[in-house]
Amino acid sequence: MALEEIIIYSTSVLFCASIIIIYLRKLNKASQIVEAKIEKAKEEGLHEPVSLHPVIDLGTCIKSGACVEVCPEKDILGVLKGTGTLINASNCVGHGVCFHACPVEAISLVIGTEKRGVDLPHVSENYETNVPGIYIAGELGGMGLIKNSVDQGKAAVENMVNTGYKRDFSSLDLIIVGAGPAGISASLTAKKYNLQFRTLEQETLGGTVYTFPRSKIVMTAPMELPLYGKIKLYNTSKSELIELWDEALSKNEINIQEKTKVETITPENGHFKVRTAHGEEYKTKNVLLAIGRRGTPRKLGIPGEMSEKVAYRLLEPELIHDKKIVVVGGGDSAVESALLLADQNQVILSYRKDKFSRIKPKNREKILEAISEGKIDMRYNTNLSKIETQQVFIKDNEGKEIAVDNDLVYIFAGGELPTQFLQKAGVRITKRFGYTMKKYG
């Protein structure tokens, strides 16, 4: 080999080696960043999944990073030493876009973990429960997110229609329980097929979405709303979304029966008898439950909690001013509400733990800033012990109790899965550990 060829060959080898070294250094630096994020997530209690979350098949994963790029929540997934990994798993809201983006289908959406189970009702591929004629769509079945709920509400009614059941004019074809995203979509679909139906909502149009603080942004993907068309909404306020739903319902002359809580669903001679808290009874061939997972707000069980000044959701925060307010809780709802109220009121935030965990990074940043600036009086390691007309009593973990002047109390202690309601209707519920969801919206 000529000297010139040897020089060219050696130069090429050195060049390739340099490229590999640069690549490996870049990969190592990126991994160090992801590793730091994981450690921070563990410190903040965000690394462990709490609901629906992605699971990566490392044997199939080709480390393309496509799942990382498309996630709207950011930093749910990352690439660590050339391997896909979870970072802030607690912040996952089940968009499912990571599943669709993966070129080799290495991602599954799973609810629950090996150690922590999640109660789920039995629901078939057609959204029918173990009780023929009772269907479930939306968050109650394990799949949250507005688009998923809209798709499932539509699909559940279509599946019901396609079973070929015989219409009985002595009863309704369908009662839809809940007027959130799944219930609204189901109502529009029922109208499309000329079904005789009613939609009953225990609160107000919008369901859980209606209880968001007014300025909260709702993340949605493009979705097809029956009898209305394709909607392209990525960032929109809660009020704008509810106005859109109201427009779609009004346009199709659909009335939602609000402030009507369903108490029992009883099978009776091939039909269901649906009874409300007002004592009304309806006879129907089918029932669709679109009530979400939270059920009723969890109570603290303390004296004075039934007072009129106590609320479990924040509505119209901009109309509340010059009040002495106590907000209870350490989750996103409590933090967001405290921040909204702090602009025009004196706010105490009482949380039973010594630091925030499992809240969104932006909320963490905002609440810590508000606390440091004195806009919010933060009381860690405390619980409300008693509520009176003009004051409340706050007790710390050592048993020391103090009274503070107070006008309003907002409690965000989560909600309870309507297990008894479902079981009374005959719907089986099982605690699932690491259960792979069959549908991704």
Q: Where are the beta strands (DSSP E) in 316-434?
A: 324-328, 346-350, 376-379, 382-387, 391-396, 401-405, 408-411, 415-416, 429-432
Judge whether 136 lies within some domain.
yes
Indicate if 125 and 76 belong to the same structural domain: no
- Out of 77, 111, 145, pick the residue that ends a domain: 111
Indicate if 60 and 126 belong to the same structural domain: no
The mean-pLDDT minimum among 110-114, 211-215, 311-315, 376-380 falls in 211-215
User: From CA 249, how far away is CA 256, in angstroms rounded?
Assistant: 9
CATH number of the domain that 329 lies in? Answer: 3.50.50.60
pLDDT band at 441 (very low <50, low <70, confident <90, very high): very low
pLDDT band at 83 (very low <50, low <70, confident <90, very high): confident
Buried b or exposed e, range 4-15, using 16+ CB within 10 angstroms? eeeeeeeeeeee
CATH number of the domain that 93 lies in? Answer: 3.30.70.20
pLDDT of residue 1: 55
Indicate if 129 and 232 belong to the same structural domain: yes
Indicate if 309 and 260 belong to the same structural domain: no
pTM for the full predicted model: 0.70
- Out of 70, 92, 111, pick the residue that ends a domain: 111
- Out of 62, 94, 111, pick the residue that ends a domain: 111
Indicate if 233 and 184 belong to the same structural domain: yes
In sequence order, which residues have a C-beta less than 8 Å from that of residue 77 and are 6 or more positions away?
54, 56, 67, 68, 71, 84, 85, 86, 87, 98
Judge whether 96 lies within some domain.
yes
Residue among 181, 217, 187, 214 at smallest CA distance from 200:
187
Indicate if 22 and 61 belong to the same structural domain: yes
Indicate if 337 and 401 belong to the same structural domain: yes
Indicate if 244 and 311 belong to the same structural domain: no
Q: Where are the beta strands (DSSP E) in 238-323?
A: 256-257, 262-268, 271-276, 281-289, 296-297, 310-311
Judge whether 386 lies within some domain.
yes
pLDDT tens readout for residues 31-56: 778 788 878 877 776 777 767 788 88
Q: Residue 261 has what DSSP assignment?
A: -
- Would you state the torsion angle of the CA atoms of residues 249, 251, 255, 258, taken in this order, to the nearest 10 degrees? 50
pLDDT tens readout for residues 174-187: 999 998 889 999 99
Domain count, the chain: 3
Residue among 65, 94, 87, 49 at smallest CA distance from 219:
94
Judge whether 39 lies within some domain.
yes
User: Is residue 231's pLDDT more than 90?
Assistant: no
Judge whether 103 lies within some domain.
yes
User: Is residue 197's pLDDT more than 60?
Assistant: yes
User: From CA 165, how far away is CA 173, in angstroms rounded?
Assistant: 9
Indicate if 311 and 204 belong to the same structural domain: no
Indicate if 374 and 238 belong to the same structural domain: no
pLDDT band at 108 (very low <50, low <70, confident <90, very high): confident
pLDDT of residue 176: 96
In sequence order, which residues have a C-beta less than 8 Å from that of residue 331 and are 6 or more positions away?
358, 359, 412, 414
Indicate if 270 and 148 belong to the same structural domain: yes
Indicate if 125 and 243 belong to the same structural domain: yes
Place of tokens 């007309």: 389
Host domain of residue 105: 3-111
Judge whether 345 lies within some domain.
yes
Q: What is the mean pLDDT of the chain?
A: 83
Could you tell me whether strands 281-289 and 172-177 are parallel, antiparallel, or unpaired per DSSP bridges?
A: parallel
Judge whether 441 lies within some domain.
no
User: From CA 171, how far away is CA 287, in angstroms rounded?
Assistant: 12
Structure tokens at 118: 């999640």
Residue among 171, 124, 131, 174 at smallest CA distance from 152:
124
